[in-house]
């Protein structure tokens, strides 16, 4: 279960209520018009699970080989969501099969990752929505050369999976060599695509409980569209109304497991909401991801005594599954630290979360908390859907296009020119 505890439930003024209602209707419309497709992924991807099962059984490489490693070549929306879920939950699964991500054109990183795998026991996945992501395709070329793959040999082509948009250049490439493909719906943007083939395929091949993940997302979505999640709407309204006073939104997750979830959030929030609005004015909210208690020793001082330009959302987990107690050992001269003796590390972590939250509240900083009973697929699915919808709602308040990213295109043109010059 996921509980949303926030102070945004207070009654709104008539005007505010009207604005919130308008936004809710706009989101409902957006969903029903299907130009924005992520809302229906929890439903749609169930079919995909069947396709994946067929692949698992029938693909000559996957079904016959003992696969130890899956290497994903992808960047941004093609990896952040999968990484977030994988890193949050992988400790619950056998460590026999590992998932690796080749994202950055950092030669040392590439070499390090490839040092961990064996060609014949590895499945390679190329993920790119547009199909022409320079980092991804360049690394793909390196893999082809490094391992002397000959894709015209069907046996070797079977060792690859490609995930892309239908009709993309990568789709055409995969057709050429008869490489296994899964498609991202055209109406689902990269950063909203984790519950499409982008996340569902690799996580299914890692034997994660993807059904539960989809269920968590689906149930939250249904509940939202039944207008049961008014606190989400009120929270977005608060962020919108106070955008100049509080332009920074901190996500403070109390678990090292969720550090990559923070990164997923940073992309979703930053890239979706940093836009020119209808009046050509630059708007946006700046996301920051922190991990407790580590960042209590780093960033917290700034939140408490620095400028009051931040809101903070705590994410905590009641039960990590694994319980280790702090031994009841009294060390001479270190008695000051005995207060936690006999408690579990989780209890200490959650008490730190609560103490920090109270400190911020006393300082008048706007905080809320999302509490997960346990760290599992269903709850992570809920969390994902919550943040996706919150982002869409914010976009409506800000009157922007939440789903494009025109600002990064200029740099891509400049990049190509740098190579033409030489």
- Residues with catalytic function: 271, 297, 412
**In the set 271, 376, 377, 388, which binds its own copies (CB under 8 A)?**
271
Task: Give the H/E segment covering residue 170.
Answer: helix 169-177
Instruction: Work out how close the CB of 414 gets to its own copies at its nearest, in angstroms, rounded to a whole number.
Output: 4
Task: Reduce the DSSP state of residue 97 to 3 states and report it.
Answer: coil
Task: Give the H/E segment covering residue 98.
Answer: strand 98-102
Q: Which is nearer to its own copies, 1 or 172 (CB)?
A: 172
Instruction: Work out how close the CB of 29 gets to its own copies at its nearest, in angstroms, rounded to a whole number.
Output: 25
Q: Which two tokens stand for residue 52?
A: 């994946």
Q: Does 207 bind its own copies (CB under 8 A)?
A: no
Contacts of 192 (CB under 8 A, 6+ apart): 36, 38, 77, 268, 388, 403
**In the set 132, 187, 230, 231, which binds its own copies (CB under 8 A)?**
132
Q: Which positions from 16 through 35 interact with its own copies, judged by CB under 8 A? A: none
Q: Which positions from 38 through 77 interact with its own copies, judged by CB under 8 A? A: 75-77
Per-residue contact flags (x/-) with its own copies for residues 222 to 261, judged by CB under 8 A = -------------------------xx------xxx----
**In the set 18, 34, 121, 141, which binds its own copies (CB under 8 A)?**
141
> Across 115-196, where does the E strand assignment appear?
122-127, 160-165, 180-184
Q: Which is nearer to its own copies, 65 or 325 (CB)?
A: 325
Instruction: Work out how close the CB of 281 gets to its own copies at its nearest, in angstroms, rounded to a whole number.
Output: 9
Q: Which is nearer to its own copies, 20 or 194 (CB)?
A: 194
**In the set 32, 58, 63, 109, which binds its own copies (CB under 8 A)?**
109
Q: Which is nearer to its own copies, 112 or 207 (CB)?
A: 112
How big is the site for its own copies, counted in residues (CB under 8 A)?
115
Q: Does 80 bind its own copies (CB under 8 A)?
A: yes
The CA distances from residue 127 to 76, 199, 202, 282, in Å, are: 10, 10, 10, 31
Q: Does 304 bind its own copies (CB under 8 A)?
A: yes
What 133-142 contacts at long range (C-beta under 8 Å, 24+ apart), as own/partner pairs, is 133/74, 133/75, 133/76, 133/78, 134/412, 134/415, 135/75, 135/103, 135/104, 135/105, 136/73, 136/74, 136/75, 136/78, 138/105, 139/73, 139/102, 139/105, 139/110, 140/73, 142/110
Q: How many separate helices (H) and strands (E) can be counted in the chain?
A: 16, 12
Q: How many CB atoms lie within 10 A of CB 244?
A: 8
Instruction: Work out how close the CB of 346 gets to its own copies at its nearest, in angstroms, rounded to a whole number.
Output: 6
Instruction: Work out how close the CB of 396 gets to its own copies at its nearest, in angstroms, rounded to a whole number.
Output: 17
> Phi and psi for 6 in degrees, rounded to 5?
-145, 170
Q: Which two tokens stand for residue 339?
A: 């207060």
Q: Does 327 bind its own copies (CB under 8 A)?
A: yes
Per-residue contact flags (x/-) with its own copies for residues 152 to 171, judged by CB under 8 A = -----------------xx-
Q: Which two tokens stand for residue 251?
A: 């996500």
Q: Which is nearer to its own copies, 117 or 340 (CB)?
A: 340
**In the set 30, 286, 371, 399, which binds its own copies (CB under 8 A)?**
286
């Amino acid at each position: 279960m996921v509980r949303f505890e926030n102070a945004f439930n207070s009654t709104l003024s008539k005007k505010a209520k009207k604005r919130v209602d308008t936004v809710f209707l706009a989101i409902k419309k957006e969903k029903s018009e299907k130009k924005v497709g992520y809302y229906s992924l929890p439903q749609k991807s169930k079919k995909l699970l069947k396709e994946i099962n067929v692949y698992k059984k029938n693909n000559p490489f996957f079904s016959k080989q003992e696969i130890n490693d899956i290497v994903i070549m992808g960047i941004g929306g093609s990896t952040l969501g999968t990484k977030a879920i994988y890193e949050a939950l992988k400790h619950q699964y056998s460590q026999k099969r590992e998932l690796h991500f080749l994202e950055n054109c950092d030669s040392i990183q590439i070499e390090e990752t490839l040092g961990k795998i064996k060609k014949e026991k590895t499945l390679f996945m190329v993920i790119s929505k547009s199909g022409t992501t320079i980092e991804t395709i360049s690394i793909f070329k390196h893999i082809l050369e490094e391992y002397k793959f000959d894709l015209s040999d069907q046996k070797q082509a079977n060792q690859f999976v490609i995930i892309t948009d239908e009709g993309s250049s990568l789709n055409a490439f995969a057709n050429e060599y008869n490489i296994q493909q899964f498609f991202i719906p055209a109406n689902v943007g990269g950063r909203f695509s984790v519950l499409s083939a982008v996340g569902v395929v690799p996580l299914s091949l890692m034997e994660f409980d993807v059904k539960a993940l989809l269920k968590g997302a689906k149930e939250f979505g249904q509940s939202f569209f039944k207008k049961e999640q008014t606190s989400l709407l009120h929270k977005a309204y608060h962020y919108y109304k106070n955008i100049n006073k509080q332009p920074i939104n901190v996500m403070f997750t109390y678990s090292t497991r969720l550090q990559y979830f923070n990164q997923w959030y940073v992309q979703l929030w930053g890239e979706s909401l940093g836009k020119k609005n209808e009046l050509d004015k630059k708007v946006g909210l700046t996301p920051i991801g922190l991990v407790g208690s580590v960042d209590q020793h780093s960033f917290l001082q700034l939140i408490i005594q620095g400028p009051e330009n931040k809101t903070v959302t705590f994410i905590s987990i009641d039960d990590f599954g694994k319980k280790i107690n702090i031994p009841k050992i009294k060390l001479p001269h270190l008695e000051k630290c005995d207060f936690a003796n006999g408690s579990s590390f989780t209890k200490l972590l959650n008490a730190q979360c609560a103490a920090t939250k109270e400190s911020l509240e006393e300082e008048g900083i706007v905080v809320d908390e999302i509490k997960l009973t346990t760290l599992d697929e269903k709850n992570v699915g809920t969390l994902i859907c919550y943040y996706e919808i919150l982002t869409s709602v914010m976009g409506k308040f800000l009157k922007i296009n939440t789903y494009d990213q025109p600002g990064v295109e200029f740099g891509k043109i400049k990049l190509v020119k740098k190579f033409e010059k030489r």
